[in-house]
Amino acid sequence: MDIFKKLKEYARQINEIEYSISSNKKEFLEIYERNLALEQEIVERTQELDQANKAFLTLKHVWDLMNSSEPLANVLETLVNSLHGEMGYINSTILQLHEVENLKYFQIRAYSDSRIYRLLNNYLHRPLSEYKLPYDSASPMVRAISEKKIICTKDYLGVINSLLNDLSPEQLTEINKLGISKNLIIIPLITTQTVFGVMLVFSPREDISDKEINFLSLFANQVEMAITIANLFETIRKEAVTDALTGLYNRRYFNESINKELERAQRLRQSFSVISLDLDFLKKINDMYGHSFGDMAISTVADIMKKNARSIDIPARLGGEEFCILLPGIDSAGAMIAAERIRASIEACPIETVGHITASIGVGTYPEHSKNLDELLELTDQAMYKSKINGRNRVTLVSTADDNGWQEVAIGAFADIVNKKRIPVPDNMIGEINEKINATRESMSKDSLYSVVDMISTLYNPNAVAGLTRQKIELATRLAQKLALPKDDIDKLKVSILLYDIGNALIPEDIMTKTTPLSDEEKSKIHQHPLLAAKEILEPISSVTDIIPIIENHHENWDGSGYPRNLSGQEIPLLSQIILLVDAYTAMTHERAYRPALSEDKALESIQQDSGRKWKKELVDEFVGMINATKRKN
């Protein structure tokens, strides 16, 4: 009996143990399952955190781009590659929407590298960026833009085929075999109410979560802002180098470009040409029809220049009606063909109300016409003014032989003056001056000629300013060209400016350097210097006899109050008036022993006060307008 009781007790204890084990097993299983679920949640949260971190880095990258001044093309390329690389997408592409003459189409602006695009590039006949992709109102791209929302589609092959119908079924099959894209996400890009285009994102994931859509929406907003800022930088950069009215390059950019081209041409021993163009009768158009029609004429010329320019040419508006085109690598024959094509196109393009317009054009070539850039530009301008003088609406090529004529006359005159001692010259300086004269004869360089002038000027004027003669000639030449004077007159003017002060060499030095007011006797000697220059120094030199009247009268005033003969009005040669005007302006804008230099504005104000007294009013108006136009250009 006791045995049965013990067995029964053992059975009870075994049941309790089994129950306890069973209960613990269930608890252990529950704990194990909870651990598995927790581990899975940790993995998922870690992945989400990693994805969020990548998203943050991507958006930070966009923010950094927005705060840079990178060109738009660089910004877009960096954006698609950051999305592609950091977020694990197969490919990212930005399509820009264009509208030309009511025709809409997409064009690829940027795309990241991927197997899909490498395969497409192998199949297509030209680079992807050159394709004009169709704008189909039924396409998901257009729907995304019109509805302003992100659209997802699994039919990425259908989208590719609708954009690139150059692909064959076999090629589409090959792309499909890649099997790498499960979804195409189409994101509209709209900047400041303007449609820029769409961004296509090829995803390897079967399902696109709301979080992913939210991230891409945020990314798109940042991209839109980056595009806006990049466009702003491009606009500012463009405005800095272009003319607002015409869209042509401005004077600053043209000068920078031609200096770079000179370096390149010297290094490679190549030619380049310059076309100088001036619109005919712009003032008449403005006066008759109003400035709006003048602007229309200027814009028409600019458009024709753009259409006829190569991608490497630099068409520029220098100001007013003046234009220039730099033609890298083009010789004079090619430049003449280009210039004639532009001239004919301008003449053939009528303007509303105004009718047909024309232009006068000059052509110069490096190194054929000059190896000195300033001289080449001056010669080209002179050729353009020769077109104007000879009847306008024509093209003139620089003629170096004609231009050198005035320099030869001046050099010959200086050689005669020095060697025949028509002015006092120290014996120890004659050899040095002759060396410079001979060097100038060989090179026909204006720099050498001006150095001769500077050296001789110091013989009779210790306070002579180096380079002042060059400035006087440049100002006088521009004014004479503005007045459309013949080339012969302009050449006489240049020689006259080089020689008109030579009579000062016969004035005692103590008078020339005196800082206190001159006595009447001293003034009389000063007043005689034009006649001294003409009669005693220049008259024996046969090559300059035709400039003697110009030099004799270059101190005569318009109202008859000048010297030495008290001529007035039309009795005074126009070239003498130009010399008097330019001499007064340069004297006022340079420091003297008895006064500081005046500003350009103050000098012009002083000249205008004497308009009609010292100078003919129309001459002053042209000169003041010319100086002010130069100030605006600079």
Which residues are marked as active site?
321
Closest CA to 89 of 199, 189, 205: 205
Look at residue 310 and give its three-state secondary structure.
coil
- 286 pairs with which residues across the strands? none
Structure tokens at 397: 């090529």
Cis amide bond preceding 367, omega within 30? yes
Which 3-state string (H, E, C) describes 139-180? CHHHHHHHHCCCEEECCHHHHHHHHCCCCCHHHHHHHHHHCC
Structure tokens at 33: 């399952």
DSSP letters along 31-46, please? Answer: HHHHHHHHHHHHHHHH
Closest CA to 414 of 469, 341, 368: 469
Return the ∠ at Cα 163 (arms to 159 and 165), rounded to 5°: 110
Q: How far apart are CA 553 and CA 576, in angstroms?
A: 6
Find where tokens 């712009």 sit: 282
DSSP letters along 404-428, please? Answer: HHHHHHHHHHHHHHHHTTSS---HH
Q: Is the CB of residue 533 less than 8 Å from the CB of residue 548?
A: no
What sign for the dihedral angle of Cα 20, 21, 22, 27? positive
Within 13 Å, how many C-alpha atoms sit on residue 481's CB side?
A: 23
Q: Which helix (H) or strand (E) holds 618?
A: helix 617-633
Q: How long is the chain?
A: 634
Buried b (16+ CB within 10 A) or exposed e, 77-91: bbbbbbbbebbebbb
Q: How far apart are CA 107 and CA 475, in angstroms?
A: 52
Closest CA to 326 of 380, 386, 370: 380
Q: At what angle do helices 468-482 and 373-389 cross, to 10 degrees?
A: 20
Closest CA to 404 of 375, 431, 428, 427: 375
Q: Which helix (H) or strand (E) holds 72?
A: helix 72-86
Q: Tell me the Cα Rg of the chain.
A: 41
Q: How far apart are CA 615 and CA 578, in angstroms?
A: 9
Q: How far apart are CA 198 and CA 159, in angstroms?
A: 13
